[in-house]
């Protein structure tokens, strides 16, 4: 292994949380003098890495427009205002961030040319790439990073993703090429958080001109926004001035919104599209047998669950939540929801995740659930509602099964399936729901899931959950850089959540993309992102 390769490996380990800074410093001598151009392990700097750009594919055939079938309508285009996966899958091709996720779940610089972290883990100094321009032709400078981060956490933005930068104390731009972020305390997940779509780098003048980014998009990414027709399509064109030389290979992307699963499968089998995301899991086996198609993907970082509105009766009663948890049969949910392509769980992370809490999943206990309801003062049950997504079949199918299971203990839950904008408003913004069958995905570091959803007062904490012990453990886990110790902290958090039950977790879904065999260069990401369309080309 070359010294450059060894450094790159160490860098990925530390910024993904798998290795502490102390470990890297201890191994720094082994990297050798040959890394001087790539790293400095001396006083005042924990690490410094030059971003590794894409290696041009010598076989790539530039040109052509790739047609991609999307599962859901984004409803809007501002990922700092709304936390919808459908928005992320649209705008990730238009914008860049300071860091990005790789297929091995490691993090590397994107708009940052290099990253230096102080010995105390508090100060992050980013040197920006030179020659990066926004799609409106203006050079991207450090002030744009400062504005983008400050806009995300500004209460006026009312972002449900503001927690992504909750560890940031300040961000400064001492010159056009330098950004300095000071944290409130060390945050082992910080570079992973910066790779999220909420941390896109945007030009202030576009926001000032339009009020927000709901219907416009001007970034520095590989594709330029041209048109969005709600519930129909988005059209993007190649950015001829993209900073990553040679990319993208495609002349454009046409993102067709096809929420119906049968229609999405039919679109890729009949050549209407070149590729589909969120391959309908009921069709995976059939599509794998089609010689004209290939699939990418498998296990993803996601969790699907029933969330309670703890602000409302009777869900502020722990015994009621426990009764509902006891009646849930996860195996019965897995079939209708994802056709077996997933893993049942009562905790947050997949069994092979380093932060997983390994516990047995309890079997349903109907009589025990009835007894708990009686103790809570709801003998015979009650009427309520379950809100879920009309456009995500794997969630609304789960909601239907849960609705039937609750009938066993007298809970009559009306099913309220709504489109994306209403779901966001009712569940994540105005909190008018009773129970919600929903999910979270796209996280790399455990903190991205835990902090936003469970820390007291965070904007993404739609359940209204609050536990001072969990708050303290979250703070400890953020500051800890040793992976083993972090794992113990996240396991403690998950055990408390099992006791408190703001959510009843169901399953972790597999996720696939299906494409024609002539679609080349695409790589699946564990976040579910389609980011690698920038390196995709058509062999036809």
Q: Quote the CA–CA distance of 515 and 288 in Å, as a whole number.
A: 10
Is it the case that residue 3 has pLDDT exceeding 80?
A: no
Token pair belonging to 199: 């941390």
Instruction: Using only the alpha carbons of the chain, give its radius of gyration.
Output: 23
pLDDT tens digits for range 332-382: 999 999 999 999 999 999 888 899 999 999 999 999 999 999 999 999 999
Nearest to 423 by CA among 394, 449, 390, 401: 390
- Asked if 509 contacts 302 with a C-beta cutoff of 8 angstroms, the reply is yes
β pairing state of 65-70 and 223-229: unpaired
- Within 10 A of 504 (CB to CB), how many other CB atoms are there? 22
Q: 60-115, pLDDT tens digit by residue?
A: 999 999 999 999 999 999 999 987 888 999 999 999 999 998 888 788 999 999 99
Considering the chain, what percentage of its residues have pLDDT values greater than 90?
77
Distance of alpha carbon 176 from the chain centroid: 30
Q: What is the pLDDT of residue 441?
A: 87
Determine which helix (DSSP H) or strand (DSSP E) holds 225, and give its type and residue range. Answer: strand 223-229
Strand residue runs (E) in 46-186: 65-70, 99-101, 107-109, 112-117, 123-128, 168-175, 178-183
> Which of residues 19 and 147 earns the better pLDDT score?
147
Identify the bridge partners of residue 183 per DSSP, sorted by sequence position: 168
Asked if 123 and 181 count as a contact pair (C-beta separation under 8 A), the reply is yes
Q: Shortest CA distance to 438 belongs to which of 452, 427, 425, 454?
A: 427
Cα–Cα distance, 188 to 11 (Å, whole number): 13
The C-alpha torsion from 328 through 332 and 337 to 338, rounded to 10°, is 120
Mean pLDDT, rounded, for 467-479: 95
pLDDT (0 to 100) of residue 53: 61
* CA atoms of 273 and 233, how far apart (whole Å): 12
- The region that residue 431 occupies, defined by phi over 0 for left and psi between -120 and 50 for alpha, beta otherwise, is left
For all residues of the chain together, what is the average pLDDT? 89
Token digits for 456? 């007291």
- Angstrom distance (rounded) from CA 406 to CA 259: 28
From CA 324, how far away is CA 321, in angstroms rounded?
Answer: 5
Chain center to CA of 12: 19
- Greater confidence (50 vs 354) lies with 354
Confidence of residue 526 (pLDDT cuts 50, 70, 90): confident
The two tokens of residue 418 are 């709504």
The CATH class that applies to domain 302-510 reads alpha beta
User: Where are the chain's structural domains?
Assistant: 1-42, 302-510
Top pLDDT among 349 and 11 is at 349
Q: How many angstroms separate the CA atoms of 527 and 302, rounded?
A: 8
Q: Is the pLDDT reported for residue 185 higher than 70?
A: yes
54 confidence band (pLDDT: 50, 70, 90): low
Distance CA 411, CA 402 (A): 10
Model confidence at 230, pLDDT cuts 50, 70, 90, reads very high
Residue 468 burial (CB count, 10 A): 8
pLDDT for the residue numbered 65: 98
Element (H, E) at 406: helix 393-406
The pLDDT tens digits of the residues spanning 279-317 come to 999 999 999 999 999 999 987 889 999 999 999 999 999
Q: How many CB atoms lie within 10 A of CB 187?
A: 26
Q: What pTM did the predictor assign?
A: 0.79
Query: Which of 299, 318, 300 is CA-nearest to residue 308?
Result: 318
């Amino acid at each position: 292994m070359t010294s450059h390769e060894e450094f790159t490996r160490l860098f990925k380990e530390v910024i993904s949380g798998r290795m502490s800074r102390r470990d890297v410093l201890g191994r720094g001598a082994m990297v050798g003098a040959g890394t001087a151009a790539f790293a400095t392990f001396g006083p005042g700097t924990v690490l410094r890495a030059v971003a590794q750009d894409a290696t041009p594919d010598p076989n790539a055939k530039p040109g052509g427009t790739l047609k991609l079938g999307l599962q859901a309508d984004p409803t809007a285009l501002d990922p700092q205002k709304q936390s919808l996966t459908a928005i992320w899958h649209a705008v990730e091709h238009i914008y860049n961030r300071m860091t990005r996720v790789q297929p091995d779940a490691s993090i590397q610089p994107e708009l940052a040319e290099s990253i230096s972290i102080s010995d105390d883990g508090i100060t992050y100094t980013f040197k920006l790439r030179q020659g990066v321009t926004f799609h409106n032709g203006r050079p991207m400078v450090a002030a744009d990073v400062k504005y983008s981060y400050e806009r995300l956490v500004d209460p006026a933005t009312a972002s449900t993703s503001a927690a992504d930068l909750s560890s940031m104390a300040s961000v400064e731009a001492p010159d056009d090429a330098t950004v300095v972020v000071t944290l409130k305390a060390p945050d082992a997940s910080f570079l992973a958080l910066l790779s999220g779509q909420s941390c896109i780098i945007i030009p202030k003048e576009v926001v000032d001109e339009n009020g927000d980014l709901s219907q416009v998009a001007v970034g520095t990414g590989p594709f330029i926004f041209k048109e969005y027709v709600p519930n129909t399509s988005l059209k993007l064109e190649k950015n001829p001035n993209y900073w990553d030389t040679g990319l993208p290979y495609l002349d454009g992307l046409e993102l067709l919104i096809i929420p119906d699963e049968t229609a999405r499968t039919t679109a890729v089998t009949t050549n209407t599209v070149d590729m589909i995301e969120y391959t309908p899991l009921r069709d995976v086996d059939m599509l794998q047998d089609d010689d004209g198609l290939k699939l990418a993907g498998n296990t993803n970082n996601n969790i699907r669950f029933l969330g309670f509105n703890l602000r409302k009766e009777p869900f502020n009663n722990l015994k009621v939540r426990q009764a509902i948890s006891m009646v849930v049969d996860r195996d019965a949910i897995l079939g209708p929801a994802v056709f077996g392509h997933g893993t049942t769980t009562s905790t947050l992370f997949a069994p092979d995740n380093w932060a997983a809490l390994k516990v047995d999943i309890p079997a349903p206990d109907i009589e025990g659930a009835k007894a708990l309801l009686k103790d809570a003062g709801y003998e015979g049950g009650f009427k309520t509602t379950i809100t879920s997504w009309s456009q995500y079949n794997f969630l609304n199918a789960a909601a239907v099964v849960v609705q039937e299971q609750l009938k066993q203990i007298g809970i009559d839950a009306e099913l309220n399936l709504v489109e994306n904008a209403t779901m966001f408003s009712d569940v994540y913004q105005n909190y008018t729901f009773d129970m919600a069958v929903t999910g979270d995905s796209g996280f790399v570091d455990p903190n991205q899931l835990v902090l936003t959803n469970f820390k007291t007062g965070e904007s993404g904490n739609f359940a209204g959950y609050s536990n001072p012990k969990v708050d303290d453990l979250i703070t400890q886990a953020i500051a800890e850089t040793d992976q083993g110790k972090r794992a113990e902290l996240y396991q403690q958090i998950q055990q408390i959540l099992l006791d408190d039950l703001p959510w009843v977790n169901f399953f972790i879904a597999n996720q696939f993309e299906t494409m024609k065999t002539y679609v080349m260069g695409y790589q699946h990401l564990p976040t579910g992102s389609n980011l690698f369309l920038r390196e995709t080309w058509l062999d036809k």
